[in-house]
Structure 1
Amino acid sequence: MDWRDVIGELEAGTERVAGTLSKLTGEELRAPSALPGWSRGHVAAHIARNADSLWNLLESARTGVEIPQYPSLERRNADIEAGAGRSGEELAADVRDTAARFAELAGALPEDAWNAPVKAMGGWPHPAWYTVFRRWNEVEAHHVDLAAGYGPADWPEPYVRWSSAATLADMAALPQEQRGGLAGYRITATDYGEAADLGWTAGGPEASGSGRALLGWLSGRTDGSGVHVRPEAPLPAPPPWPHRPAGF
């Protein structure tokens, strides 16, 4: 999928997040999210601060001056904590405003800047255009993490198609020791045809399901409903998601 098409998808996804937040009461925002140790307000603040952090990477590509995604992990966490206690309307406005700022810079970025190398907080490099896809994962996955009625079944099909394929490709590129309980498996999206061999050999274990079922499971957003294992066995725990992208 072309990154240019993702910008419109991001705008729609951001508006869905903001719509969810604006309906939540203060008590509901202080309640636990699906992420351990974070309230719904923490998740919302993170979605906004992530837009700011990825704006930094686009600005780095535009200027040629290296700008870190976050000044530090401590600053990232402090900013999330500082913003988590606001009202639903305030959090929704923050999510909208920071997303609009990101989209504005993306729309104005010179064509040759999109291939400029930037660096994720984890230290791995990627071209600037991949920043748009990283943001897509953040918006859709963390909307689910709000635990406020939006789930993997609500993910738009273009997102599921891209992210499930990217997840399988990225997992296949992981070193064996980072594949966790899925080492030795073949994983197949039955509707899209993509597959990942994680050290699989003939006769080895296989997991299969729709791209949506696989993405929900591999991203940690479902318990694996709709995913089938052969030979029959409990679903293994997937490694932490998202993964370093393959090929960069």
Structure 2
Amino acid sequence: MLERAPSFATGHRRPRSRRRRPTASRSVRPPQRRRPAASSSPDPKPGGPAPTRTPGRRPGPEQPAVDRAVREGAERSAGELVDDLRTGLDRLLDAHAMPAERWPVLVTALAGWRHPAWFTLQRCRRELETHHVDLNLGYTTTRWPSGYVAWALDDTIASLTARGFPVARIQATDLDRAWTPAPTGPTVTGPGRSVLAWLAGRGTDPELSSDAPLPTPPRWRLPPTPGWA
């Protein structure tokens, strides 16, 4: 059965966004305001050479600070959460003024991963799509856009393949796509959204089928693989 992350509520989501969105907005802000410090997507954007891709890094020492902010902010009022969200979105929307040559600049995510500034927008979308489901307010994985699901599956399965995730074949029936992460293991078949929900630790859908017991995916989110350096 599909499920949201345990003990996850609106108050948990906003502090998490509050910590990440300022980092994201600083990463993509035009240089006259602040030069990109560091943040992630799969193809290079025009305006500069593509950074070298290397194996992704696991979360760095700042992750405990994110977890602490989530706990401390969980009891904030609805008004505070809304104001904080609006401020964060306004800062992120500054990205429209980003010069094209700045998008390939390497930035650093709060968890310690390095990637081009343009990948920040994809990270933000993944956060929003996943945690929107976690809020349990009627938005379910069935509403995930197919384009997002296809990208997220490519990104997630590449990271799992690099870590030897024991699944021989994953097939997204509605996307006409298949992946072979490992030489042995079960064959998993189902709609792309159901596959992605399982890999993101959001439970299993009855539409998901496997010819053997499903392995437990590692804790979501994984660093992009290959990463950038």
Task: Pick the TM interval, shorter chain.
Answer: 0.7 to 0.9
| RMSD (Å), alpha carbons | 2.9
Whether the aligned pair in 2 keeps the contact of 1:185 and 1:206 (CA below 8 Å) is: yes
Deviation sequence 1:138-190 (CA, Å, 0-9, x none):
11111111123222122233322322233233323x232xx2xxx14211212
Give the conservation status (yes or no) of the 8 Å contact 2:173–2:189.
yes
Count of residue pairs brought into register by the alignment: 205
Q: Does 1:43 align with 2:13?
A: yes
- What CA distance in whole angstroms lies between the structure 1 residues aligned with 2:61 and 2:183? 40
Give structure 2 stretches of 5+ with no counterpart: 40-58
CA 83–196 in structure 1, closer or farther in 2 if over 3 Å, else same: same
1:199–1:70 distance in 2 versus 1, CA, 3 Å: closer
Residue from 66, 74, 77 that aligns with 2:37: 66
Alignment partner of 1:211 out of 192, 197, 218:
192
Q: Give the number of the structure whose residues are more often helix, by fraction.
A: 1
In structure 2, how many angstroms separate the alpha carbons of the residues matched to 1:119 and 1:111? 19
Give the Å deviation of 1:107. Answer: 0.8
Q: Secondary structure at the match of 1:100?
A: helix
What per-residue deviation string (whole Å, max 9, x for no partner) do you get for residues 10-50 of structure 1?
A: xxxxxxxxxxxxxxxxxxxxxxx943455431123212332
Moved over 4 A (4+): 59-65, 67-71
Q: Answer yes or no: is 1:192 the counterpart of 2:181.
A: no
Matched, 1:100 2:71: no
Contact 2:169 2:181 in 1 (8 A): yes
Identity across aligned pairs (percent)? 34
1:157–1:184 distance in 2 versus 1, CA, 3 Å: closer
Q: Which of residues 136, 139, 147 in structure 2 aligns to 1:158?
A: 147
- Which amino acid is the alignment partner of residue 40 of structure 1? T
TM-score of the two chains, using structure 1 as the length reference: 0.70
> Aligned partners of 1:193 and 1:61: how far apart in 2?
42
Task: Spell out the pairing of 1:1-248 with structure 2 (5 A cutoff).
Answer: 34-59=4-29, 63-64=34-35, 66=37, 72-104=62-94, 106-172=95-161, 174-176=162-164, 179=165, 183-200=166-183, 205-230=186-211, 233-248=212-227
**CA–CA distance in structure 1, aligned partners of residues 154 and 76 of structure 2:** 36
Aligned to 1:207, the other structure's residue is in SS state strand
Structure 1: which 5+ runs fail to align? 1-32
CA contact (8 A) 1:224 1:235 kept: no
* 3-state SS of paired residue (2:189): strand
Counterpart-to-counterpart distance in 2, 1:93 and 1:224 = 35
Q: Which has the higher contact order (CA 8 A, sep 6+)?
A: 2
- Give the AA of the match of 1:175: R
Q: TM-score, normalised by structure 2?
A: 0.76
CA distances 1:53-101 after superposition (whole Å, capped 9, x unpaired): 2223324977546369999344433433343222223312322320221
